[in-house]
Amino acid sequence: MKKFKDISEFENLLKDTLQGHSTPAPPDVWSSVAASTSQSAGLLSQVTTYFGSATNILKVALFAGGIAAVGIVIYTENTPEINPVQETQDTEQQTDTISSAEGTETENKEYTIATVSTAKVNTPNFKSQKTQTTTSKEEKSTDLTEQVSSTTDNAKNYTGDENSNTDKQEELPTKVAATKLSIIASNLKPCIGETVVLKSAEKGNWFVNDKPIATNCNLIKYKCSEEGLVVFKLGKEQNSTITTVYVQKFTASIISNKINDSEFSYSLDNKSIIANWFLDNVLQETNSHVFTTQIYQVGEHSIKAVPVNNSCAVTIETKTTIERKGSIEIFDVFTPGADGSNDTYKVEISGYENFSIQIFNPAGKMVYASQNPEEGWNGKLFNMGNECLNGVYATKISYTLNGEIPLTKNIKITLKRP
Amino acid sequence: MSTSESHDEISLIKACSNGDSKAFRKIYEIHSGTMYSICLRYMNNEDEAKDALQEGFIKVFKNISKFKFTGSFEGWMKRIFVNSSIELIRKRKMHLDVSELNSNELPLTAKIETGSMDAEKMMTLVQQLPEGYRTVFNMFIVDGYSHKEISDYLEISESTSKTQLFKARKQLQEWLKDWF
């Protein structure tokens, strides 16, 4: 036992010891401090709120029911097709009607032609060998039925298109000499699901992968459905020209790599892709192929990569689960008595950041306090004084297991001496 | 502290003055343990100590641009945390008058029989001192304030400060009588 010469010697030791003393701060203090000081923390929470509400809006939209949702999707898909063509209001209505009517019929077709009015009529016409069976479709709008009925043959039908296309010819960015055919494609590397608009200065017959799809028109739209090369051919009399479009499919997934218990590295299997990385929906890293981060909190975490250099890219997500690292076992009976068993009251805890125990006697006086779970209470006042009497001792145990939130347990220990 | 660490600290402080929240986080990580220990010494329990710690760090962040690099940064911070602890004690309308202090029962009457004197035991001993004694004892013995400064901070007379220190010492001597 160390003895002190006098109180001053003790005080000097105490001063030296306590001046540099450090107790791990409770983890929740930082969040309060950050919330009331950091501007960026405020901004972050605003962004989070925004994302939260955006998600909510999306959820509400999805809840609007199956049919409604399908309607929205179809409308959304059609909208960009309509706008560049600048159809009249009437034509837009037709498009909607036809799209929904043809939805099931065209599903299994090799390609879906979405040329607004031309294609709607053309596609079935090709199948039906230029007979007017299209008019038998009950679901067609009255407008369209009238239009189709009024056309005696396809040539007349296209004549209608010629009129609308005449306007557009003037808008074409490059005027091509009448003698030379050429195709202008809106996108040579589209993604699956995107629609490519192909224009020509001259009207002609269009072929996709050698299959005829439209005649005597100067604009078609092609909806890309599968990966690979698509060859568009425009023929007029003896002349013909081809344009190829490569439909891209975006494939990338996140490769997770565990560096150690709390450090993880994520990369994309597609080496050419760089992305912005989100951990639990908070932006962590920008424009990077690889993302390395510490994840400490126990539980499931979401890692999202939003690719930035690929137009076909979609958000990729993976999950990482952090297993529990610590454990605690608290007993409520204590029988000191030097009989070799249960002589010291100890909390069995492992894998922890913080631990503190305070024991109070039935009169409410503290009899033991420690931040060291190894030490244990031997039943004496602060392990040094008189033996404490049998009874129920209120005990406050605060702890933080690694990667978990801080917890405080108030329990009662029954002290029984034999 | 090595030169590189000092440079780090200076650049951290400067970054923090410019509102860099990451730098502030780093400062928090480096110093929160020591500062929490100070708050624990002054306050009655962990909850109060947490409040003092929080208030202190908010003050540090707001005032860090006023730090002039003339003394140690840690010393500057320590004063802030002692201040915020004392402010909180004062907010609880704790009066340091002698009659009240005398009425306090002494919670720890034990003789120290076993174990060595380590930091945790010292913390416990200090924490067990009645609040009035404890504040003066902490300020004078551990944190190096003079009786004049203590009397200004606590708005008590210098002689009260001295009396309380004397009583704190007496109390400790009683608890530690087997150690001398």
Q: Give me the pLDDT at residue A306, please.
A: 87
Q: Give me the pLDDT at residue A333, please.
A: 83
Chain B nearest C-alpha distance from A113 (Å): 54
Name which residue leads in pLDDT, A116 or A1. Answer: A1
Rounded to whole angstroms, what are the CA distances from A312 to A219, A318, A347, A383, B7? 24, 19, 56, 69, 47
Q: Do B169 and A11 touch (CB under 8 A)?
A: yes
- CA–CA separation, B60 and B16 (whole Å): 10
Q: Give me the pLDDT at residue B12, please.
A: 84
| Mean pLDDT within A288-297 | 88
41-70 in chain A: CB under 8 A from chain B = 41
| Chain A residues close to B111, C-beta within 8 Å | 384-385
Q: Give me the pLDDT at residue A399, please.
A: 92
Residue A8 reports pLDDT greater than 50 = yes
Residue A137 reports pLDDT greater than 60 = no
Q: Hey, is A348 helix, strand or coil?
A: strand
Per residue in A342-362, pLDDT tens? 778 889 999 898 898 989 888
If phi over 0 gives left and psi between -120 and 50 gives alpha, with beta otherwise, what is residue A271? Answer: alpha
Residue A267 reports pLDDT greater than 80 = yes
Element (H or E) spanning A60, and its range?
helix A39-63
pTM equals 0.38
Range in A65-79, A192-206, A208-222 the model is least confident about: A65-79
Q: Give me the pLDDT at residue A266, please.
A: 92
98-117 in chain A: CB under 8 A from chain B = none
Range in A62-76, A256-270, B23-37, B57-71 the model is least confident about: A62-76
Query: Sorting pLDDT into bands at 50, 70 and 90, what band is B11?
Result: confident
| Mean pLDDT within B92-121 | 50
Burial (0-12, 13-18, 19+ Cβ within 10 Å), B59: middle
Residue A240 reports pLDDT greater than 60 = yes
Q: Give me the pLDDT at residue A91, please.
A: 39
Q: Give me the pLDDT at residue B97, please.
A: 43
- Does ipTM top 0.95? no
- Unique residue bearing structure tokens 């080496």: A271
CB-nearest partner of A32 from B40, B54, B176: B54
Q: Give me the pLDDT at residue A303, please.
A: 92
Per residue in B131-176, pLDDT tens? 878 899 999 998 889 999 999 888 889 999 999 999 998 888 888 8
385-414 in chain A: CB under 8 A from chain B = 385-386, 398
Task: Tell me the pairing of strands A282-288 and A275-279.
Answer: antiparallel
Task: Tell me the pairing of strands A211-223 and A407-415.
Answer: unpaired
Closest Cα in chain B to A15: B142
Q: Give me the pLDDT at residue A302, please.
A: 92
How many C-beta atoms lie closer than 10 Å to residue A248's C-beta? 18
Q: Give me the pLDDT at residue B2, please.
A: 42
Q: What rounded mean pLDDT belongs to chain A?
A: 70
Closest Cα in chain A to B59: A37
Chain A nearest C-alpha distance from B82 (Å): 12
Closest Cα in chain A to B112: A384
Dihedral, B123, B126, B128, B131 alpha carbons, nearest 10: -130
Per-residue buried b or exposed e for B2-21, using 16+ beta carbons within 10 Å of the residue's own CB: eeeeeeebeebbebbbeebb
How many C-beta atoms lie closer than 10 Å to residue A297's C-beta? 14
Q: Do B46 and A398 touch (CB under 8 A)?
A: yes
Query: Sorting pLDDT into bands at 50, 70 and 90, what band is A338?
Result: low
Percent of chain B with pLDDT over 70: 82
Q: Give me the pLDDT at residue A369, please.
A: 87
Q: Hey, is B5 helix, strand or coil?
A: helix
Query: Sorting pLDDT into bands at 50, 70 and 90, what band is A291?
Result: very high
Q: Give me the pLDDT at residue A260, please.
A: 85
| Mean pLDDT within A217-229 | 85
Dihedral, A364, A368, A374, A376 alpha carbons, nearest 10: -90
Q: Give me the pLDDT at residue A83, please.
A: 39
| Mean pLDDT within A367-387 | 85
Q: Extract long-range pairs of A367-376: CB within 8 Å, 24+ residues apart.
A: A367/A393, A369/B124, A369/B127, A370/B120, A370/B124, A371/A23, A371/B120, A372/B120, A373/A346, A373/A347, A373/A348, A373/A349, A374/A346, A375/A346, A376/A344, A376/A345, A376/A346
Chain A nearest C-alpha distance from B35 (Å): 7
- Does A384 reach chain B within 8 Å, measured CB to CB? yes
Per residue in A12-70, pLDDT tens? 888 888 887 888 888 788 888 887 775 444 444 444 444 444 444 444 444 444 444 44
Q: Do B21 and A3 touch (CB under 8 A)?
A: no
Q: In degrees rounded to 5, what are phi and psi of residue A26?
A: -60, 135
Range in A364-368, B39-43, B84-88, B176-180 the model is least confident about: B176-180
Q: Hey, is A335 helix, strand or coil?
A: coil
Residue A148 reports pLDDT greater than 50 = no
Q: Give me the pLDDT at residue B93, please.
A: 55
Q: Give me the pLDDT at residue A194, please.
A: 82
Per residue in B49-78, pLDDT tens? 999 999 999 999 888 888 888 888 888 999
- Unique residue bearing structure tokens 């996108």: A187
Q: Give me the pLDDT at residue B39, please.
A: 93
Q: Do A25 and B35 touch (CB under 8 A)?
A: yes
Q: Give me the pLDDT at residue B54, please.
A: 92
Q: Give me the pLDDT at residue B5, please.
A: 52
Query: Sorting pLDDT into bands at 50, 70 and 90, what band is A252?
Result: confident
Q: Give me the pLDDT at residue B3, please.
A: 44
| Mean pLDDT within A228-255 | 85
